[in-house]
Structure 1
Amino acid sequence: MTGETSWVPSEVDTSVPNPARVYDFWLDGDHNFAADRALGEQILKIMPGIRDAARLNRAFLRRAARHMVDAGIRQFLDVGAGIPTVGNLHEIVQQADPSCRVVYVDREPVAVAHSELLLQGNDRCAVIQADLRDVDEIFAGAGKLLDPGQPTGLFMLLLLHFVPDSWDPVSILARYRERLAPGSFLALTHVAADTESATELGEAVQVYTTQQNQQNQPFPRTQEEVLRFFDGFDLVEPGLVGCALWNPEGAGDMSDDPAINVLPYAGVGRKPDSP
Protein backbone atom coordinates (compact mmCIF):
# COMPACT_ATOMS: atom_id res chain seq x y z
CA MET A 1 0.00 0.00 0.00
CA THR A 2 1.30 3.42 -0.88
CA GLY A 3 0.64 6.72 0.86
CA GLU A 4 -0.21 7.57 4.45
CA THR A 5 -0.75 4.54 6.69
CA SER A 6 -0.86 6.23 10.10
CA TRP A 7 -4.54 5.23 10.38
CA VAL A 8 -3.60 1.53 10.51
CA PRO A 9 -4.08 0.24 14.10
CA SER A 10 -0.78 -0.42 15.84
CA GLU A 11 -1.72 -4.01 16.68
CA VAL A 12 -2.08 -4.96 13.00
CA ASP A 13 0.82 -6.99 11.60
CA THR A 14 0.90 -5.88 7.98
CA SER A 15 3.50 -8.55 7.15
CA VAL A 16 0.78 -11.23 7.48
CA PRO A 17 -1.71 -11.45 4.58
CA ASN A 18 -5.39 -10.93 5.37
CA PRO A 19 -8.47 -12.09 3.40
CA ALA A 20 -10.09 -8.64 3.28
CA ARG A 21 -6.91 -7.02 2.00
CA VAL A 22 -6.22 -9.76 -0.56
CA TYR A 23 -9.77 -9.25 -1.87
CA ASP A 24 -9.10 -5.51 -2.02
CA PHE A 25 -5.99 -6.23 -4.10
CA TRP A 26 -7.98 -8.36 -6.56
CA LEU A 27 -10.41 -5.46 -6.94
CA ASP A 28 -7.47 -3.12 -7.73
CA GLY A 29 -8.00 -1.32 -4.44
CA ASP A 30 -5.21 0.53 -2.65
CA HIS A 31 -5.81 -0.70 0.91
CA ASN A 32 -3.52 -3.71 0.89
CA PHE A 33 0.08 -4.40 1.77
CA ALA A 34 3.01 -6.27 0.22
CA ALA A 35 2.11 -9.55 1.95
CA ASP A 36 -1.46 -9.34 0.66
CA ARG A 37 -0.32 -8.63 -2.90
CA ALA A 38 2.18 -11.49 -2.80
CA LEU A 39 -0.47 -14.00 -1.73
CA GLY A 40 -2.96 -12.55 -4.20
CA GLU A 41 -0.46 -12.99 -7.04
CA GLN A 42 0.25 -16.59 -6.00
CA ILE A 43 -3.43 -17.46 -6.21
CA LEU A 44 -3.81 -15.60 -9.51
CA LYS A 45 -1.19 -17.94 -11.00
CA ILE A 46 -3.36 -20.91 -10.01
CA MET A 47 -6.72 -19.31 -10.84
CA PRO A 48 -6.27 -16.37 -13.23
CA GLY A 49 -10.03 -15.78 -13.15
CA ILE A 50 -10.17 -15.10 -9.40
CA ARG A 51 -9.93 -11.37 -10.00
CA ASP A 52 -12.97 -11.62 -12.26
CA ALA A 53 -14.80 -13.59 -9.55
CA ALA A 54 -14.15 -10.78 -7.08
CA ARG A 55 -15.56 -8.28 -9.56
CA LEU A 56 -18.66 -10.42 -10.11
CA ASN A 57 -19.23 -10.60 -6.37
CA ARG A 58 -19.13 -6.80 -6.24
CA ALA A 59 -21.60 -6.58 -9.13
CA PHE A 60 -23.96 -8.94 -7.30
CA LEU A 61 -23.80 -6.66 -4.26
CA ARG A 62 -25.06 -3.81 -6.44
CA ARG A 63 -27.92 -5.81 -7.94
CA ALA A 64 -29.01 -7.34 -4.62
CA ALA A 65 -28.95 -3.96 -2.88
CA ARG A 66 -31.06 -2.36 -5.60
CA HIS A 67 -33.52 -5.26 -5.42
CA MET A 68 -33.95 -4.67 -1.70
CA VAL A 69 -34.38 -0.92 -2.09
CA ASP A 70 -37.01 -1.54 -4.76
CA ALA A 71 -38.74 -3.86 -2.26
CA GLY A 72 -38.93 -1.06 0.30
CA ILE A 73 -35.87 -1.82 2.47
CA ARG A 74 -34.28 1.30 3.91
CA GLN A 75 -31.86 -0.13 6.49
CA PHE A 76 -28.97 -2.53 5.94
CA LEU A 77 -26.55 -4.63 7.98
CA ASP A 78 -23.37 -5.79 6.21
CA VAL A 79 -21.56 -8.46 8.25
CA GLY A 80 -18.03 -9.29 7.15
CA ALA A 81 -18.03 -6.12 5.08
CA GLY A 82 -14.26 -6.07 4.60
CA ILE A 83 -12.35 -3.02 3.43
CA PRO A 84 -14.57 -0.45 1.72
CA THR A 85 -13.81 -0.08 -1.95
CA VAL A 86 -15.53 1.26 -5.05
CA GLY A 87 -19.27 0.57 -5.01
CA ASN A 88 -19.80 0.37 -1.25
CA LEU A 89 -23.22 -0.70 -0.02
CA HIS A 90 -24.03 2.70 1.50
CA GLU A 91 -23.14 4.46 -1.75
CA ILE A 92 -25.47 2.22 -3.72
CA VAL A 93 -28.50 2.45 -1.44
CA GLN A 94 -28.10 6.11 -0.49
CA GLN A 95 -27.88 7.03 -4.15
CA ALA A 96 -31.29 5.38 -4.57
CA ASP A 97 -32.67 6.94 -1.38
CA PRO A 98 -30.53 9.24 0.81
CA SER A 99 -32.55 8.19 3.88
CA CYS A 100 -31.12 4.64 3.81
CA ARG A 101 -29.08 3.63 6.86
CA VAL A 102 -26.19 1.16 6.79
CA VAL A 103 -24.19 -0.55 9.54
CA TYR A 104 -20.97 -2.30 8.56
CA VAL A 105 -19.49 -5.10 10.70
CA ASP A 106 -16.04 -6.66 10.47
CA ARG A 107 -13.56 -8.20 12.87
CA GLU A 108 -10.53 -6.98 10.88
CA PRO A 109 -9.08 -3.82 12.53
CA VAL A 110 -7.81 -2.35 9.24
CA ALA A 111 -11.26 -2.73 7.66
CA VAL A 112 -12.91 -1.05 10.64
CA ALA A 113 -10.34 1.76 10.83
CA HIS A 114 -10.70 2.60 7.17
CA SER A 115 -14.49 2.37 7.33
CA GLU A 116 -14.52 4.88 10.16
CA LEU A 117 -12.49 7.29 8.03
CA LEU A 118 -14.68 6.76 4.99
CA LEU A 119 -17.91 7.28 6.93
CA GLN A 120 -16.91 10.48 8.70
CA GLY A 121 -19.71 13.01 8.32
CA ASN A 122 -22.27 10.39 7.24
CA ASP A 123 -24.67 10.17 10.16
CA ARG A 124 -26.70 7.44 8.45
CA CYS A 125 -23.80 4.97 8.55
CA ALA A 126 -21.87 3.24 11.32
CA VAL A 127 -19.24 0.55 11.73
CA ILE A 128 -18.87 -2.13 14.40
CA GLN A 129 -15.82 -4.29 15.10
CA ALA A 130 -17.17 -7.73 15.97
CA ASP A 131 -17.02 -11.38 15.05
CA LEU A 132 -19.81 -13.01 13.04
CA ARG A 133 -20.73 -15.06 16.12
CA ASP A 134 -21.23 -11.99 18.32
CA VAL A 135 -24.87 -11.77 17.28
CA ASP A 136 -26.17 -10.06 20.42
CA GLU A 137 -23.32 -7.52 20.36
CA ILE A 138 -23.88 -6.79 16.66
CA PHE A 139 -27.61 -6.23 16.98
CA ALA A 140 -27.15 -4.12 20.11
CA GLY A 141 -24.66 -1.88 18.29
CA ALA A 142 -26.70 -1.77 15.11
CA GLY A 143 -29.79 -0.88 17.13
CA LYS A 144 -28.33 2.59 17.73
CA LEU A 145 -28.96 3.34 14.04
CA LEU A 146 -31.31 0.64 12.75
CA ASP A 147 -34.87 -0.01 13.91
CA PRO A 148 -35.15 -3.70 14.94
CA GLY A 149 -38.90 -3.60 14.29
CA GLN A 150 -38.42 -2.72 10.62
CA PRO A 151 -37.24 -5.04 7.79
CA THR A 152 -33.49 -5.08 7.25
CA GLY A 153 -31.28 -6.06 4.34
CA LEU A 154 -28.62 -8.42 5.76
CA PHE A 155 -25.50 -8.97 3.64
CA MET A 156 -22.91 -11.73 4.16
CA LEU A 157 -20.80 -11.75 1.03
CA LEU A 158 -17.80 -14.09 0.66
CA LEU A 159 -17.89 -14.58 4.44
CA LEU A 160 -19.37 -17.95 5.32
CA HIS A 161 -16.76 -20.02 3.48
CA PHE A 162 -14.34 -18.87 6.19
CA VAL A 163 -16.61 -20.43 8.81
CA PRO A 164 -15.80 -24.08 9.67
CA ASP A 165 -18.57 -26.62 10.21
CA SER A 166 -17.43 -26.88 13.83
CA TRP A 167 -18.91 -23.40 14.39
CA ASP A 168 -22.29 -24.67 13.12
CA PRO A 169 -22.83 -21.83 10.64
CA VAL A 170 -26.44 -22.90 9.95
CA SER A 171 -27.26 -22.24 13.61
CA ILE A 172 -25.44 -18.91 13.46
CA LEU A 173 -27.60 -17.88 10.51
CA ALA A 174 -30.69 -18.99 12.42
CA ARG A 175 -29.79 -16.58 15.23
CA TYR A 176 -29.62 -13.72 12.74
CA ARG A 177 -32.91 -14.77 11.14
CA GLU A 178 -34.65 -14.82 14.52
CA ARG A 179 -33.56 -11.23 15.19
CA LEU A 180 -34.69 -9.91 11.82
CA ALA A 181 -38.16 -8.47 11.35
CA PRO A 182 -40.50 -10.21 8.86
CA GLY A 183 -39.94 -8.90 5.37
CA SER A 184 -36.17 -8.71 5.87
CA PHE A 185 -33.76 -10.00 3.24
CA LEU A 186 -30.57 -12.07 3.38
CA ALA A 187 -28.02 -11.80 0.58
CA LEU A 188 -24.97 -14.03 0.57
CA THR A 189 -22.23 -15.32 -1.68
CA HIS A 190 -20.12 -18.39 -0.99
CA VAL A 191 -17.28 -20.11 -2.87
CA ALA A 192 -18.57 -23.24 -4.61
CA ALA A 193 -16.97 -26.65 -4.08
CA ASP A 194 -18.81 -28.41 -6.91
CA THR A 195 -17.83 -26.55 -10.07
CA GLU A 196 -15.46 -27.15 -12.98
CA SER A 197 -12.82 -25.16 -11.08
CA ALA A 198 -12.77 -27.59 -8.14
CA THR A 199 -9.21 -28.82 -8.79
CA GLU A 200 -7.71 -25.35 -9.19
CA LEU A 201 -9.76 -24.13 -6.24
CA GLY A 202 -8.37 -26.91 -4.06
CA GLU A 203 -4.82 -25.86 -4.96
CA ALA A 204 -5.61 -22.23 -4.25
CA VAL A 205 -7.14 -23.10 -0.87
CA GLN A 206 -4.02 -25.06 0.05
CA VAL A 207 -1.75 -22.11 -0.81
CA TYR A 208 -4.05 -19.69 0.97
CA THR A 209 -4.22 -21.78 4.13
CA THR A 210 -0.45 -22.32 4.23
CA GLN A 211 0.26 -18.61 3.88
CA GLN A 212 -2.29 -17.83 6.60
CA ASN A 213 -0.65 -20.30 9.04
CA GLN A 214 -3.92 -22.25 9.14
CA GLN A 215 -5.90 -19.10 10.04
CA ASN A 216 -8.81 -17.88 7.90
CA GLN A 217 -8.94 -21.23 6.11
CA PRO A 218 -11.56 -21.28 3.32
CA PHE A 219 -14.17 -24.05 3.33
CA PRO A 220 -15.83 -24.18 -0.12
CA ARG A 221 -19.26 -25.84 -0.03
CA THR A 222 -21.66 -27.48 -2.46
CA GLN A 223 -24.86 -25.84 -3.62
CA GLU A 224 -26.89 -28.11 -1.35
CA GLU A 225 -24.77 -27.11 1.65
CA VAL A 226 -25.03 -23.40 0.88
CA LEU A 227 -28.80 -23.69 0.47
CA ARG A 228 -29.07 -24.62 4.15
CA PHE A 229 -28.05 -21.08 5.10
CA PHE A 230 -31.37 -19.92 3.64
CA ASP A 231 -33.47 -22.09 5.95
CA GLY A 232 -36.45 -19.99 7.00
CA PHE A 233 -36.13 -17.62 4.05
CA ASP A 234 -38.01 -17.67 0.76
CA LEU A 235 -35.47 -17.61 -2.06
CA VAL A 236 -35.86 -14.81 -4.59
CA GLU A 237 -35.78 -15.92 -8.22
CA PRO A 238 -33.65 -17.35 -9.76
CA GLY A 239 -32.68 -19.00 -6.46
CA LEU A 240 -29.15 -19.98 -5.47
CA VAL A 241 -27.09 -19.78 -8.66
CA GLY A 242 -23.67 -18.80 -9.93
CA CYS A 243 -22.93 -15.22 -8.90
CA ALA A 244 -23.04 -13.87 -12.45
CA LEU A 245 -26.33 -15.66 -13.14
CA TRP A 246 -28.31 -13.88 -10.41
CA ASN A 247 -30.39 -11.45 -12.47
CA PRO A 248 -27.53 -10.01 -14.56
CA GLU A 249 -28.20 -6.60 -16.06
CA GLY A 250 -25.68 -6.71 -18.88
CA ALA A 251 -22.46 -8.16 -20.26
CA GLY A 252 -20.44 -6.40 -17.55
CA ASP A 253 -22.04 -8.63 -14.93
CA MET A 254 -20.63 -11.75 -16.58
CA SER A 255 -17.21 -13.28 -17.19
CA ASP A 256 -16.01 -14.73 -20.49
CA ASP A 257 -15.11 -17.85 -18.49
CA PRO A 258 -18.25 -19.90 -17.65
CA ALA A 259 -16.45 -21.56 -14.74
CA ILE A 260 -15.83 -18.20 -13.08
CA ASN A 261 -19.46 -17.20 -13.50
CA VAL A 262 -20.44 -19.99 -11.08
CA LEU A 263 -17.38 -20.01 -8.81
CA PRO A 264 -19.15 -18.10 -6.06
CA TYR A 265 -22.75 -19.08 -5.43
CA ALA A 266 -25.11 -16.18 -4.85
CA GLY A 267 -28.63 -15.89 -3.55
CA VAL A 268 -31.14 -13.60 -1.90
CA GLY A 269 -33.84 -14.78 0.51
CA ARG A 270 -36.75 -12.98 2.15
CA LYS A 271 -38.03 -13.71 5.65
CA PRO A 272 -41.75 -14.42 5.29
CA ASP A 273 -44.32 -12.09 6.76
CA SER A 274 -45.82 -13.20 10.06
CA PRO A 275 -48.94 -15.38 9.67
Structure 2
Amino acid sequence: MTDELAPHGIDPTIPSVARMYDYYLGGKDNFPADREAAEAIIKLARESGSDVREMALANRGFLIRAVRQLAESGVRQFLDIGTGLPTQDNVHQVVQRVAPGSKVVYVDNDPIVLVHAQALLADNSDTVVIEGDLHNPAAILKAAAPHLDFDQPVAIVVAAVFHFFPDDDEVSSIVATLRNALVPGGHLVITHSYVEPEAGEPDKMDEARGVYSRSASGSVAWRDRETVRGYFEGLELLEPGIVPAQDWRNDDPYPVPGLAIGGVLAGVGRKPETT
Protein backbone atom coordinates (compact mmCIF):
# COMPACT_ATOMS: atom_id res chain seq x y z
CA MET A 1 0.00 0.00 0.00
CA THR A 2 1.36 3.43 -0.92
CA ASP A 3 0.76 6.78 0.72
CA GLU A 4 -1.34 7.83 -2.27
CA LEU A 5 -3.89 5.11 -1.40
CA ALA A 6 -4.50 6.39 2.11
CA PRO A 7 -8.21 6.98 2.83
CA HIS A 8 -9.35 10.50 3.58
CA GLY A 9 -8.46 11.48 7.13
CA ILE A 10 -5.55 9.04 7.45
CA ASP A 11 -2.03 10.39 7.85
CA PRO A 12 0.09 7.62 6.28
CA THR A 13 3.27 9.11 7.75
CA ILE A 14 2.18 8.14 11.29
CA PRO A 15 2.68 4.42 11.97
CA SER A 16 -0.35 2.44 13.10
CA VAL A 17 0.10 -0.53 15.45
CA ALA A 18 -2.66 -2.37 13.56
CA ARG A 19 -0.83 -1.96 10.27
CA MET A 20 2.51 -2.80 11.91
CA TYR A 21 0.94 -6.03 13.19
CA ASP A 22 -0.37 -6.70 9.70
CA TYR A 23 3.23 -6.36 8.46
CA TYR A 24 4.52 -8.74 11.15
CA LEU A 25 2.02 -11.33 9.90
CA GLY A 26 3.13 -10.84 6.29
CA GLY A 27 0.16 -8.71 5.22
CA LYS A 28 0.11 -5.98 2.57
CA ASP A 29 -2.26 -3.46 4.18
CA ASN A 30 0.41 -1.11 5.46
CA PHE A 31 2.25 2.06 4.45
CA PRO A 32 5.99 2.80 4.23
CA ALA A 33 5.92 4.46 7.68
CA ASP A 34 4.34 1.33 9.16
CA ARG A 35 6.93 -0.92 7.55
CA GLU A 36 9.80 1.31 8.69
CA ALA A 37 8.57 1.30 12.29
CA ALA A 38 7.89 -2.45 12.19
CA GLU A 39 11.35 -3.18 10.82
CA ALA A 40 12.86 -1.09 13.63
CA ILE A 41 11.02 -3.21 16.21
CA ILE A 42 12.00 -6.42 14.42
CA LYS A 43 15.65 -5.35 14.48
CA LEU A 44 15.58 -4.39 18.17
CA ALA A 45 13.94 -7.69 19.09
CA ARG A 46 16.44 -9.66 17.03
CA GLU A 47 19.33 -7.90 18.75
CA SER A 48 17.79 -9.00 22.06
CA GLY A 49 17.44 -12.59 20.89
CA SER A 50 13.73 -12.54 20.13
CA ASP A 51 11.50 -12.62 17.05
CA VAL A 52 8.53 -10.27 16.71
CA ARG A 53 7.07 -12.13 13.76
CA GLU A 54 7.01 -15.36 15.76
CA MET A 55 5.32 -13.48 18.60
CA ALA A 56 2.61 -12.27 16.22
CA LEU A 57 2.10 -15.76 14.83
CA ALA A 58 1.95 -17.23 18.34
CA ASN A 59 -0.66 -14.65 19.32
CA ARG A 60 -2.71 -15.41 16.22
CA GLY A 61 -2.51 -19.16 16.75
CA PHE A 62 -3.71 -18.83 20.34
CA LEU A 63 -6.64 -16.64 19.29
CA ILE A 64 -7.78 -19.20 16.73
CA ARG A 65 -7.53 -22.09 19.20
CA ALA A 66 -9.24 -20.17 22.01
CA VAL A 67 -12.31 -18.97 20.11
CA ARG A 68 -12.69 -22.34 18.38
CA GLN A 69 -12.70 -24.13 21.73
CA LEU A 70 -15.15 -21.64 23.21
CA ALA A 71 -17.47 -22.17 20.26
CA GLU A 72 -17.14 -25.92 20.71
CA SER A 73 -18.07 -25.50 24.38
CA GLY A 74 -21.30 -23.71 23.46
CA VAL A 75 -20.46 -19.98 23.38
CA ARG A 76 -22.41 -18.33 20.58
CA GLN A 77 -21.57 -14.62 21.02
CA PHE A 78 -18.17 -12.98 20.61
CA LEU A 79 -17.03 -9.37 21.09
CA ASP A 80 -13.56 -8.85 19.58
CA ILE A 81 -12.13 -5.49 20.71
CA GLY A 82 -9.15 -4.13 18.80
CA THR A 83 -9.67 -6.66 16.05
CA GLY A 84 -6.97 -5.35 13.72
CA LEU A 85 -6.82 -5.85 9.97
CA PRO A 86 -8.54 -8.93 8.54
CA THR A 87 -6.32 -11.95 7.97
CA GLN A 88 -6.90 -15.67 7.49
CA ASP A 89 -9.14 -17.40 10.03
CA ASN A 90 -10.72 -14.33 11.58
CA VAL A 91 -12.83 -14.86 14.70
CA HIS A 92 -16.14 -15.01 12.83
CA GLN A 93 -14.79 -17.52 10.32
CA VAL A 94 -13.47 -19.80 13.05
CA VAL A 95 -16.53 -19.78 15.28
CA GLN A 96 -19.10 -19.89 12.48
CA ARG A 97 -17.46 -22.99 11.04
CA VAL A 98 -18.07 -24.63 14.41
CA ALA A 99 -21.50 -23.12 15.02
CA PRO A 100 -23.18 -21.37 12.08
CA GLY A 101 -25.27 -18.44 13.24
CA SER A 102 -22.88 -17.42 16.03
CA LYS A 103 -22.91 -13.66 16.54
CA VAL A 104 -19.64 -11.74 16.28
CA VAL A 105 -19.03 -8.02 16.82
CA TYR A 106 -15.68 -6.53 15.85
CA VAL A 107 -14.54 -3.24 17.38
CA ASP A 108 -11.68 -0.99 16.28
CA ASN A 109 -10.85 2.71 16.01
CA ASP A 110 -8.52 2.52 13.00
CA PRO A 111 -10.35 3.80 9.87
CA ILE A 112 -8.49 1.41 7.57
CA VAL A 113 -9.38 -1.56 9.78
CA LEU A 114 -13.03 -0.48 9.71
CA VAL A 115 -13.09 -0.13 5.91
CA HIS A 116 -11.52 -3.55 5.33
CA ALA A 117 -13.68 -5.27 7.94
CA GLN A 118 -16.90 -3.78 6.59
CA ALA A 119 -16.01 -4.95 3.08
CA LEU A 120 -15.21 -8.45 4.35
CA LEU A 121 -18.48 -8.69 6.27
CA ALA A 122 -20.82 -7.19 3.68
CA ASP A 123 -22.60 -10.52 3.12
CA ASN A 124 -22.49 -11.82 6.69
CA SER A 125 -25.58 -10.81 8.65
CA ASP A 126 -24.38 -12.50 11.83
CA THR A 127 -21.22 -10.38 12.05
CA VAL A 128 -20.88 -6.61 12.34
CA VAL A 129 -18.06 -4.14 12.83
CA ILE A 130 -18.42 -1.03 14.95
CA GLU A 131 -16.15 1.89 15.72
CA GLY A 132 -15.03 2.12 19.31
CA ASP A 133 -12.15 3.12 21.55
CA LEU A 134 -11.10 0.88 24.43
CA HIS A 135 -10.37 3.96 26.52
CA ASN A 136 -14.18 4.04 26.85
CA PRO A 137 -15.24 0.41 27.36
CA ALA A 138 -18.75 1.33 28.53
CA ALA A 139 -19.42 2.99 25.17
CA ILE A 140 -18.23 -0.14 23.37
CA LEU A 141 -20.57 -2.34 25.38
CA LYS A 142 -23.45 0.03 24.67
CA ALA A 143 -22.70 0.08 20.93
CA ALA A 144 -22.49 -3.73 20.85
CA ALA A 145 -25.74 -4.22 22.78
CA PRO A 146 -28.03 -4.04 19.71
CA HIS A 147 -26.11 -6.96 18.21
CA LEU A 148 -25.32 -9.10 21.27
CA ASP A 149 -27.52 -10.25 24.16
CA PHE A 150 -25.47 -9.53 27.28
CA ASP A 151 -28.02 -11.45 29.35
CA GLN A 152 -26.55 -14.53 27.69
CA PRO A 153 -22.89 -15.66 27.69
CA VAL A 154 -20.53 -13.56 25.59
CA ALA A 155 -16.81 -14.12 25.01
CA ILE A 156 -14.99 -10.78 25.14
CA VAL A 157 -11.67 -10.90 23.30
CA VAL A 158 -8.92 -8.31 23.82
CA ALA A 159 -5.88 -9.66 22.00
CA ALA A 160 -2.58 -7.77 21.88
CA VAL A 161 -4.11 -4.44 22.86
CA PHE A 162 -3.50 -3.70 26.53
CA HIS A 163 0.27 -3.39 26.11
CA PHE A 164 -0.44 -0.15 24.25
CA PHE A 165 -2.03 1.29 27.42
CA PRO A 166 0.78 2.46 29.73
CA ASP A 167 -1.41 3.38 32.71
CA ASP A 168 -1.82 0.32 34.94
CA ASP A 169 -4.81 1.78 36.76
CA GLU A 170 -6.62 2.51 33.50
CA VAL A 171 -6.10 -1.03 32.24
CA SER A 172 -7.40 -2.44 35.52
CA SER A 173 -10.47 -0.21 35.28
CA ILE A 174 -11.13 -1.20 31.65
CA VAL A 175 -10.83 -4.89 32.45
CA ALA A 176 -13.16 -4.53 35.44
CA THR A 177 -15.81 -2.93 33.20
CA LEU A 178 -15.53 -5.79 30.71
CA ARG A 179 -15.62 -8.46 33.44
CA ASN A 180 -18.70 -6.88 34.96
CA ALA A 181 -20.50 -7.21 31.62
CA LEU A 182 -20.17 -11.00 31.73
CA VAL A 183 -22.91 -13.29 32.97
CA PRO A 184 -22.17 -16.84 34.16
CA GLY A 185 -20.77 -18.82 31.26
CA GLY A 186 -19.26 -15.71 29.69
CA HIS A 187 -15.53 -15.56 29.00
CA LEU A 188 -12.70 -13.05 28.89
CA VAL A 189 -9.83 -13.72 26.47
CA ILE A 190 -6.65 -11.65 26.83
CA THR A 191 -3.16 -11.65 25.34
CA HIS A 192 -0.41 -9.27 26.43
CA SER A 193 3.27 -8.79 25.55
CA TYR A 194 5.84 -9.59 28.22
CA VAL A 195 9.59 -9.87 28.73
CA GLU A 196 11.09 -12.25 31.27
CA PRO A 197 12.56 -10.14 34.11
CA GLU A 198 15.99 -11.75 33.91
CA ALA A 199 16.14 -11.19 30.14
CA GLY A 200 15.10 -7.55 29.97
CA GLU A 201 17.45 -5.18 28.18
CA PRO A 202 16.56 -1.65 29.35
CA ASP A 203 18.29 0.07 26.44
CA LYS A 204 16.51 -2.02 23.81
CA MET A 205 13.18 -1.66 25.60
CA ASP A 206 13.61 2.11 25.77
CA GLU A 207 14.37 2.17 22.05
CA ALA A 208 11.25 0.11 21.36
CA ARG A 209 9.19 2.53 23.44
CA GLY A 210 10.66 5.33 21.34
CA VAL A 211 9.49 3.68 18.12
CA TYR A 212 5.97 3.14 19.45
CA SER A 213 5.86 6.67 20.87
CA ARG A 214 5.88 7.90 17.27
CA SER A 215 2.96 5.65 16.35
CA ALA A 216 -0.72 6.41 16.67
CA SER A 217 -0.81 4.39 19.90
CA GLY A 218 1.85 6.61 21.47
CA SER A 219 3.25 4.01 23.84
CA VAL A 220 3.97 0.40 24.68
CA ALA A 221 4.23 -1.38 28.04
CA TRP A 222 5.24 -4.87 29.12
CA ARG A 223 3.59 -6.51 32.12
CA ASP A 224 4.38 -9.65 34.08
CA ARG A 225 2.35 -12.80 34.60
CA GLU A 226 0.99 -11.81 37.99
CA THR A 227 -0.34 -8.54 36.59
CA VAL A 228 -2.02 -10.30 33.68
CA ARG A 229 -3.39 -12.96 36.03
CA GLY A 230 -4.96 -10.15 38.06
CA TYR A 231 -7.07 -9.15 35.06
CA PHE A 232 -9.03 -12.38 35.57
CA GLU A 233 -10.04 -11.62 39.16
CA GLY A 234 -13.34 -13.34 39.96
CA LEU A 235 -13.12 -15.58 36.90
CA GLU A 236 -12.18 -19.24 36.63
CA LEU A 237 -9.00 -19.50 34.57
CA LEU A 238 -9.20 -22.25 32.00
CA GLU A 239 -6.26 -24.63 32.04
CA PRO A 240 -3.36 -24.17 31.63
CA GLY A 241 -3.80 -20.68 33.11
CA ILE A 242 -1.62 -17.72 32.13
CA VAL A 243 1.04 -19.08 29.79
CA PRO A 244 2.96 -18.08 26.66
CA ALA A 245 0.48 -17.98 23.78
CA GLN A 246 2.13 -20.83 21.89
CA ASP A 247 1.70 -23.11 24.93
CA TRP A 248 -2.03 -22.57 25.46
CA ARG A 249 -3.80 -25.85 24.60
CA ASN A 250 -1.55 -26.42 21.64
CA ASP A 251 -1.99 -30.06 20.60
CA ASP A 252 0.96 -29.81 18.25
CA PRO A 253 3.53 -27.75 20.17
CA TYR A 254 6.60 -26.79 18.24
CA PRO A 255 9.80 -25.05 19.26
CA VAL A 256 9.24 -21.39 18.56
CA PRO A 257 12.52 -19.62 17.76
CA GLY A 258 13.27 -16.43 19.58
CA LEU A 259 10.55 -16.58 22.25
CA ALA A 260 12.63 -17.85 25.18
CA ILE A 261 13.05 -14.40 26.73
CA GLY A 262 9.57 -13.04 26.16
CA GLY A 263 6.64 -12.96 23.80
CA VAL A 264 2.91 -12.95 24.40
CA LEU A 265 1.09 -14.15 27.51
CA ALA A 266 -2.38 -15.60 27.02
CA GLY A 267 -5.28 -16.53 29.23
CA VAL A 268 -8.99 -17.34 29.12
CA GLY A 269 -11.27 -16.82 32.13
CA ARG A 270 -14.84 -18.00 32.63
CA LYS A 271 -17.47 -16.28 34.75
CA PRO A 272 -18.57 -18.96 37.22
CA GLU A 273 -22.12 -19.86 38.03
CA THR A 274 -23.53 -17.97 40.99
CA THR A 275 -24.01 -19.95 44.18
TM-score with structure 1 length normalisation? 0.91
Letter aligned with residue 145 of structure 1: H
Of 8, 18, 26, which aligns to 1:28? 26
In structure 2, the residue matched to 1:228 is: 230
Of 187, 205, 210, which aligns to 1:202? 205
The separation in 2 between residues aligned to 1:2 and 1:85, in whole angstroms, is: 19
Question: 8 Å contact 1:103–1:126 — kept in the other structure?
Answer: yes
Question: 8 Å contact 1:58–1:87 — kept in the other structure?
Answer: no
Matched pairs, number: 270
Question: 8 Å contact 2:82–2:158 — kept in the other structure?
Answer: yes
Does the alignment pair 1:11 with 2:31? no
Structure 1: gaps of 5 or more residues = none
* Residues 247/201 of structure 1: CA separation in 2 closer, same or farther (3 Å cut): farther
The separation in 2 between residues aligned to 1:72 and 1:169, in whole angstroms, is: 29
Structure 2: gaps of 5 or more residues = none
- State the Cα distance separating 1:211 from its structure 2 match: 3.1
The separation in 1 between residues aligned to 2:35 and 2:269, in whole angstroms, is: 34
Range 135-144 or range 181-190, more displaced: 135-144
In structure 2, the residue matched to 1:176 is: 178
- State the Cα distance separating 1:166 from its structure 2 match: 5.8
Letter aligned with residue 215 of structure 2: Q
TM-score with structure 2 length normalisation? 0.91
In structure 1, the residue matched to 2:258 is: 257
* Residues 222/245 of structure 1: CA separation in 2 closer, same or farther (3 Å cut): same
Letter aligned with residue 211 of structure 1: R
Letter aligned with residue 164 of structure 1: P
The separation in 1 between residues aligned to 2:60 and 2:214, in whole angstroms, is: 25
In structure 2, the residue matched to 1:126 is: 128
1:32-60 CA-partner distances (Å, limit 9, x unpaired): 11110111111111223100100010000
5 Å-filtered alignment, 1:79-158, equals 79-158=81-160
Identity of aligned residues (%): 37
Letter aligned with residue 208 of structure 1: V
1:44-83 CA-partner distances (Å, limit 9, x unpaired): 1122310010001000001101121122101100011111
The separation in 2 between residues aligned to 1:182 and 1:208, in whole angstroms, is: 41
Letter aligned with residue 256 of structure 1: P
- State the Cα distance separating 1:207 from its structure 2 match: 3.7
The separation in 1 between residues aligned to 2:4 and 2:78, in whole angstroms, is: 31
Question: 8 Å contact 2:92–2:104 — kept in the other structure?
Answer: yes
CA RMSD of aligned residues (A): 2.1
